[in-house]
Chain A
Amino acid sequence: MASTLRLERREASTARVPAPRQGQALAFTRYEKEQAVVLNPQDFHRLAALDAALEQDDRTVPSDLALRAHAQESRPAAPAVEDPAQIKTILGL
């Protein structure tokens, strides 16, 4: 399941941090499993912006007119025809 990227800032002096160039991603592995990937900040912010754009809630807010139209057409506007003779007459049965 996708989740939004959250940036946590740490001082570079707290670890030996490599400086990947733009377009380069450095994957650090442990027992062949990727443990961390270090990106160039520009690449990271570009990906984060894309991620945020995908996360954006694009739900359309209905107008009063659209709400009214939905309500009008989703409920019976007139009493149902229930008289057998009238049903036969209307349908020519």
Chain B
Amino acid sequence: MSASPLAGTIRWAVVPYAPAAPFELYAGTEHRPIQAPLGAMIERGADSEWRFVVPGKVRPVLVLTEPSARHSELLALRLMRFTKLSPGEQKTVRQQQDPLLFHLPPDRFDLPEENAAIVSALVPVGESAIDTARSLGALSSEEMRVLGERVIGCFGFDTRLLVERRIRELADARRRK
């Protein structure tokens, strides 16, 4: 477990892509990986553990959560480099006009180039797969609040019961005064 907070920081991490068909299973050093149809794995292989051959990349990510104590996993967002955007698109993102692309000002982050966090590109990352020793910069608590709202808006999480509970707590606290 790292001592300094990880949530809100940008860090290098090993991030695999989500497994996608055609699925390849590692079959030892003497064989090429074996392609496995999804249907066969569901019908006959559900009780087995496989080693999937999944492409991945070492990339900077924006860490959203501290690692859970039990699983040592955390949630992060993939970043998008500005060189992949047109000048007009860059301007839109810099002005925070696209709610699903959170701009990361280049003067505050030690990244090879200007980036934005892709709010919809949520990935689980193992704690051992992240550079806990070095942060490339951090968002403020206010920025994290804005980002949290955008993540909820992106995935459509229903926060109604949470909001209702908070309203009741506030009303109770006000009544007690």
Contacts and interface: CB of A to CB of B under 8 A. Distances in A.
Contacts of A66: 98, 100-101, 118-120
Contact of A65 (B79, B101, B156): B101
A32 to B, nearest CB: 23
Contacts of B153: 58-60
Contact of B100 (A55, A63, A72, A76): A63
A54 B164 contact: yes
The size class of the interface chain B forms with chain A is 20 to 34
A80 B53 CA distance: 11
A80 B55 CA distance: 7
Interface of B: 17-18, 55, 57, 78-80, 84-85, 89, 92-93, 98-101, 116, 118-121, 150, 152-156, 160-161, 163-164
Interface of A: 1-2, 54-55, 57-60, 62-63, 65-66, 69-70, 72-76, 80
